[in-house]
Structure 1
Amino acid sequence: MKSYTICGLIVLIVFLTSCAETLKKEVEAVNYIDSPAGDVSSLPYLFSNGENTLMSWVEHHEDTLASLYYAELKDVEWQTSHKILQGDDWFVNWADFPMIVENRGNLLSHVLKKSSEGTYSYDVKLNVLPKGSENWMTDLPLHTDDTPTEHGFVSAVPYKGGSFFITWLDGRNTEEKEDGSRGAMTVRAAEVSAKGEVSKDTVLDVRTCDCCQTTTTITANGPVVIYRDRSEEEIRDMSIVRLVEGKWTAPKTIYSDNWLIKGCPVNGPKASSIGNNLAVAWFTAAGDLPKVNLVFSNDGGEHFDSPIRVDEADALGRVDVLLLDADTAIVSWMEAKDSGAQLKAVKIIRSGKKSDYKIIAELDGSRKTGFPQMELVGNSVYFAWTDVAKGVSNIKIAYVPVGQF
């Protein structure tokens, strides 16, 4: 009897030692650095193009006054922050947040500005800082309609020359008609010059999910846009449209999760590309099974491999993805944990092989946490998220060397 007890204790000690070593490795791999954001900050957005790394965020100074800031990362340190603009008539939302993008010295950002007293009535307003300029050009229109409807969930990337490719959800067709009927949310795309001039405004899909983030990336063939679609039967799976030889393809489902849901899950996809190699990550709860999926494509999104499940269990979504090479991606997501949540990340090979999961941070599981961000900077993966403690939000930042995955 004593021998069994001793053996049991030995097994328990070995197990606990192994767990402690695993946790120690996870903690040692995550390097936390100071944030450039001030007090009561939230909604971080990370951008990196291999040469420049920027982060934008929002700070609240009073009940209604909000300011959009940004800073540049150099040698693992954030430089002095800069205010782009402020306003007391913005729509500030946990899921539909401002962003910043750089291309050849030109900067573009956006905010959402209320257009009427309606709760979800707001416009996308662009801000640009052309290379060599000292002052931002602000409050520039992205869309030309004047309907008091929802416009947002913007994604933007560097494009031809010093311009930008941008896509967004556009609710102009949802305005109530005389007969009481309403149209559907649409997804649109356009090109924006360094001076904020909008061209080639195009409707990509006439019926989409109402409030899930869009994502876009530039493949060797041209831009692709991925978003949560919406069928007449309320199936809300991921679709892709591609600009090929100057023409947009028809929307095509990436993978048929067949998620039947009669309300928007507010959980969009993310994409990353190198040449015509493309990786897309997204959240689904089809069949009441919450999970995060990842798919690879080697032809610019014309065809995709079978999806790889990313999470372990209890996924909340809010995903991000980085493509390291044709066959390797890093995915981040939020996962429920006890009364809160964890921000996790993992490296996945196209064959389905995964690295050990990394716990980047312990988070509040509420909407106040927003959507954590992830970017590749040199040989490290950077993360930014909103930390909520005692009702106050502040932005936290950490990085993990790629070799630690």
Structure 2
Amino acid sequence: MFKWRHTGKDFRIQLTDLSIFPPNFDAISFLHMKYPTPFVLVAFLFCACHSAPKTGIAEISLIDHPAAEGSRYPHLHTTPDGKVLMSWLQKLSEGSFSLKFATLEDGIWSDTATIFTGDDFFDNWADFPSVTWSPAGYYAAHWLRKVEGGYFAYHVQMAFSDDGRNWSAPITPHLDLSPSEHGFVSLEPLPNGRILAVWLDGRNTAAAFESGPSDHAHTQQDQHAHAAGAMTLRSAEIGRDGSIHHKHEIDARVCDCCPTSLVRDDLTAWVVYRNRSQEEVRDFYIVAYDIANAEWGSPSPVHADGWQIGGCPVNGAALTVLNDELHVSWFTAAGDDPRVLTAAASTEQLHFGEPVRLSTGDALGRVNSAVNGTSKGVLWMEEGAESFSYGQIYLSKLPAENDMPVQTEVEGIGISRSRLTGFPQLTALPGQAGSYLLAWTRHEPSFGIEMRKLQVR
């Protein structure tokens, strides 16, 4: 153990054995950075390996981005052809927003484009817009539009663009137009040129709340409506022309407001979501989509956490696929033990092994993940006792096949613990082994987007 000085505080670095990992995960030792601060943003980069780790270093640096002051709720996505897509909301005036978009390629940001401007955006810390890229040659964006009928009455909107600057008129991917919740969208481009869209759909709920959310920013209960009927999980394939194909109800009873996560390979797509039993057990399930036949299989549990909770915890899972292996990372507080877990399964069988605990303290979740080359990154938050948070990052890296992994030290990142921070984003920097981008919302002293480059060497 050793320590050094940084901004007037002592930091202790301790090597910790991760022999608890199962054979199909077999992660290496990691660094535990321990701060006298309350709340932490954590990333864990892991790989399958059997060699003893070397020691590396990590650099976290500020990175310029095009989002102006007043921006919030970024979304990051790295395309297979080497671009980073960034979307965000720019507040114009009270109740009025623009959905903005830019790309990062070869270290240079494009000019900022406006996808849509209006005074009917549903502006929410957990349910925010996104943009993806189809290899068929176009961008697809989604956002949420408020409709009459209650505070939590809103619909999904989608728009398309060939050049990222000129966007189509919006369409609604769900035919249901009831005044209920429709959101927590995941988009995945398909080989047939369409976009697979998965969302939470409240058409079976009786009504949305008439009033706005109460101010309980740090409880286990959600700030979304809970009407008499059940929230459903639905999907459709959306064409570049806005046409809607292969509509499905995937699950008739799911948790009301936990983000979904969707990935695919050439033949299959998978979505992971928080289920909801009649006994109010809310554990994560996964289900596979046969791309050729446009059919979903039967949902199955990732792990039986047994978390029984009367309201939605607003905490989704993160799903990655790499080399025929799926990894799901998620938050649970079953047994009054808030923690972040991860588990792996073959893409052929969807049989997940026993999960491994990633968090070291009391976790808050907000899990995100990304793949860069042969490594996968997982990000989450942990809670402490004070008002602000600093990053606690666990890293390992496999630079090349059969090479030894690299054990990495990373200094902290400070973010607020408020829900106004949103869900921090993690994505790979293409063409730069071991490089990731982190982005989140700053809300004090004013709203804005913070971004850091994480370089693992």
Q: TM-score range by the shorter chain?
A: 0.7 to 0.9
Greater mean alpha carbon deviation, residues 281-290 or residues 193-202:
193-202
Q: Which amino acid aligns with 1:206?
A: A
The 3 A distance-change label for structure 1 pair 348 and 167 is farther
Aligned: 1:371 with 2:423: yes
Change (3 A) 1:211 1:305: same
**2:220 corresponds to 1:172:** no
Give the distance between the partners of 2:340 and 2:296, measured in 1 at CA: 28
Specify the SS of the correspondent of 2:204: helix
1:92-117, Cα deviation, whole Å (9 max, x unpaired): 10000000001123011111111114
Give the alignment partner of residue 377 of structure 2, picking from 324, 330, 336. Answer: 330
Please report how far the alpha carbon of residue 292 of structure 1 lies from its aligned counterpart in structure 2 after TM superposition. Answer: 0.7
1:219 corresponds in structure 2 to 265
Alignment-mate amino acid for residue 400 of structure 1: L
C-alpha displacement of 1:251: 1.4
Greater helix proportion = 1
Q: Give the match for residue 217 of structure 2.
A: none
Task: Give yes or no for the alignment of 1:201 onto 2:247.
Answer: yes
Amino acid in structure 2 at the alignment position of 1:265: P
| Cα drift, residue 118 of structure 1 | 0.2
- The Cα of 1:319 is off from its aligned counterpart by 0.7
Who is 1:235 aligned against?
281
1:253 is aligned to: 301
C-alpha separation in 1, matches of 2:391 and 2:169 = 34
Residue 315 (structure 1) aligns with = 363
The secondary structure found in structure 2 opposite 1:29 is strand
Shift of 1:375: 0.8
The alpha-carbon deviation at position 347 of structure 1 amounts to 3.6
Q: Cα distance, 1:137 vs. partner?
A: 1.0
Q: Secondary structure at the match of 1:61?
A: strand
Q: Which amino acid aligns with 1:396?
A: E
Could you tell me how far 1:355 is from its partner in structure 2?
4.9
- Tell me the equivalent position of 2:143: 111
Q: Structure 1 vs Structure 2: percent identity of aligned residues?
A: 34
- Partners of 1:306 and 1:134 lie apart in 2 by 46
**SS in structure 1 opposite 2:89?**
strand
Q: Please point out which of 435, 448, 451 is paired with 1:394.
A: 448
Question: What is the rounded CA distance, in whole Å, between the counterparts of 1:291 and 1:355 in structure 2?
Answer: 23
Q: What SS is found at the alignment partner of 1:234? A: coil
Q: CA deviation at 1:134?
A: 5.9
Structure 1 residues 293 and 325, CA, compared in 2 at 3 Å: closer, same or farther?
farther
TM-score (norm 1): 0.87
How far apart are residue 175 of structure 1 and its match? 2.4
Q: Does 1:304 align with 2:334?
A: no
Q: Kindly tell me: are residues 311 and 106 of structure 1, through their superposed partners in 2, closer, same or farther at Cα, counting changes over 3 Å?
A: same
- Determine the structure 2 residue equivalent to 1:48: 78
TM-score normalised to structure 2 length: 0.77
The more displaced of 46-55 and 60-69 is 46-55
- Alpha-carbon distance between aligned partners in 2 of 1:77 and 1:231, rounded to the nearest angstrom: 47
Unaligned 5+ runs, structure 1: 1-10
Structure 1, residues 355-405: CA drift from partner, whole Å, max 9, x if none?
557455211101100001111122211111112222x1111111222x44x
Is residue 2:124 matched to residue 1:93? yes
Higher-Rg structure is: 1
Would you say the 8 A contact 2:56–2:407 is kept in 1?
A: no
**Retained in 2: the 8 A contact 1:214–1:227?**
yes
**Per-residue deviation at 1:196?**
2.1
Separation (CA, whole Å) in 2 of partners of 1:117 and 1:209: 21
Deviations 1:104-142 (A, max 9, x none): 23011111111114010000011111x368631122111
> What is the match of residue 126 of structure 1?
158
CA distance in 2, matches of 1:282, 1:342: 21
Shift of 1:283: 0.6
Q: Give 3-state SS (helix, strand or coil) of 1:174's partner.
A: coil
Q: How far apart in 1 are the matches of 2:236 and 2:450?
A: 33
* Distance (Å, rounded) in 2 between the aligned partners of 1:60 and 1:313: 35
Q: Is the 8 A contact 2:57 2:409 kept in 1?
A: no
Displacement of 1:160: 1.6
Q: Which moved more, 1:97-106 or 1:299-308?
A: 299-308
The answer on whether the counterparts of 1:332 and 1:343 sit within 8 Å (CA) in structure 2 is no
In structure 2, relative to structure 1, the CA distance for the partners of 1:197 and 1:29 (3 Å cut) is same
Q: Out of 69-78 and 133-142, give the one that drifted further.
A: 133-142
**Which of the residues 101, 104, 129 maps onto 1:73?**
104
Q: Which moved more, 1:156-165 or 1:49-58?
A: 156-165
Tell me if the contact between 2:56 and 2:408 (Cα under 8 Å) persists in the aligned partners.
Answer: no
* Residue 186 in structure 1 maps to residue 232 in structure 2: yes
Structure 2: state its 5+ residue gaps.
Answer: 14-32, 34-54, 209-226, 399-404
Amino acid at match of 2:303: Y
The alignment yields a C-alpha RMSD, in angstroms, of 2.7
1:275-327 CA deviation, whole Å, 9 max, x = no partner? 5311111111111111111111222561112111111112111111124567x
- How many residues get paired? 382
